[in-house]
Amino acid sequence: MNNSNNEKSGGLIKIFTDVLIQFLELIPKAVTDIEHQWLRFLAILMGLSFLALFSFFIVLYLSCDNINSYVWLTTLFFCAVLFLDILFLIPVMMLHREECRYIRQKQDALTEAVRDGADKKRQL
């Protein structure tokens, strides 16, 4: 009996670490490169809440033998919703980073044009 629980928990820990590694590989470098703090805060908050809910799911699975199926379905539903939200947030962050880069390039081009105009006026 005790051996089967150890095997079950060992398998779950391996699955949990594999899922965690795959999840962390999905997060782009854009999370650390974004300029606006609210987007970074949202990404971190969603990631932490997904990990908390997923770990609650594992603890629930390991500790309770006889639970209501609605508890499982509710927990799985919230895990899936948070995971899909995170997957939606990744492209939003990448697009936001590209938009910031485009705006910065546009501002640099405008600044360069103003400098060129000022240099031409000085030469006259």
**Where do the structural domains in the chain lie, given as residue ranges?**
2-123
pLDDT digits (tens, 9 = 90+) for 93-111: 777 777 677 777 777 777 8
Q: What is the structure's pLDDT at 85? A: 77
With pLDDT > 70 as the criterion, what percentage of the chain qualifies? 63
Total-model pTM = 0.38
Q: What is the Cα–Cα distance from 71 to 60, expressed in whole angstroms?
A: 10
Q: What is the Cα–Cα distance from 109 to 90, expressed in whole angstroms?
A: 29
Q: What is the Cα–Cα distance from 68 to 76, expressed in whole angstroms?
A: 13
Q: What is the Cα–Cα distance from 10 to 109, expressed in whole angstroms?
A: 57
Q: What is the structure's pLDDT at 37? A: 63
Q: Taking the CB of residue 44, how many other CB atoms lie within 10 A of it?
A: 11
Q: What is the structure's pLDDT at 27? A: 59
Q: Which residues of the chain have pLDDT under 70?
A: 1-10, 12-13, 20-40, 65-67, 99, 124
The end-to-end CA distance of the chain, in Å, is: 93
